[in-house]
Amino acid sequence: MILLEAGDWRATLAPERGGAVLSLDWRGRPVFRSTPDGATDILETACFPLVPYANRIADGRFVFEGRAMQLTALDRFAPHALHGDGWLRPWTVERQTANRVEMRLNWPGDPEGWPWPWRARQVVELTDEGLRIALTLTNTGDAVMPAGLGLHPYFHRCADSRLTLSADGVWITDAREIPERLGALAEIADWSEGLALADAPFVDHAYAGWDGAAVLDGGGRRVTLSADAPARWTQVYAPPGADFFCVEPVTHRPDAHNAPNDEAHGLVDLAAGATLSLAMEIAATLL
């Protein structure tokens, strides 16, 4: 485990566990939910990178440039492929200081899974202002590949937690949790004027046309999330009664690999040698 500190901020990381952040605290209180002692499941961590795609690919299947792909699905999420491969592999630390860690992951390509080789880098840094995570994906092969990125933070939920974010619409999913159509915000949950999580239904949906900002009030403080331009979608996961909720900056909507050709779905055709980037910043103030 790696400890980072700066000002009122403290974070712990486990690069060997999918490049995960284990905790993020401000003034001694959790901003991200803390990973339980002894936990081995990355889905119990505080935040992890999504690379080379985010969220679900229906049945793990898609066609790219005439080539049919079949990805391996984890038993717990079968038949769908989920979140790429980066969260399932150990990352290597390249540089480390008291407040910053740079790590990388090389994917050589897998003929039985994701066939394109790539390299990802993740920089996690604390400053007096808060946390910044920068994630990049570089196509190290000689052919174009479909590419996307995301970050999966689990925020600590207080009894009075309230979420505010602006978006143009929300993807309505079918019974298999695959996006079916883009609907009005009110069909699921409209966060634009602020909504208490205690009053929200079960939400596990992608919001489109997101402006890259979210405000999370609760416990006498305000936590802000900001993401840069490529993240124009955010996956909100807020199960009722849980001690966490997720606001995930992502560069494309779920199952973008199977979206119609004329849809602005966010997935990028990444040329050989090209790089896709995403950054997220977290700050906090007292209310």
pLDDT number for residue 111: 87
The H or E element that residue 87 is part of is none
Domain ranges of the chain: 2-286
| CB environment 189-226: b (16+ within 10 A), e (fewer) | bbbeeebebeebeebebbbbebebebbbbbbebbbbbb
Q: What is the pLDDT of residue 6?
A: 98
Instruction: Please say if the pLDDT value at position 168 is more than 90.
Output: yes
Separation between Cα atoms, residue 50 and residue 48, nearest integer Å: 7
Give SS3 for 185. helix
Separation between Cα atoms, residue 41 and residue 286, nearest integer Å: 32
Task: Give per-residue pLDDT as tens, 73-128.
Answer: 999 999 999 999 999 999 999 999 999 999 999 999 998 899 999 999 999 999 99
Give the CATH fold of the 2-286 domain.
Beta-galactosidase; Chain A, domain 5 (2.70.98)
Question: Does residue 111 have a cis peptide bond before it, meaning omega lies within 30 degrees of 0?
Answer: no
- From 269, 268, 47, 61, select the one nearest 176 (Cα to Cα): 61
C-alpha span between 221 and 201 (Å, rounded): 23
Please tell me the distance from the alpha carbon of residue 35 to that of residue 58, in angstroms, as a whole number.
29
Residue 24 pLDDT class (50, 70, 90 cuts) = very high
DSSP label of 60: G
pTM for the full predicted model: 0.97
pLDDT of residue 209: 98
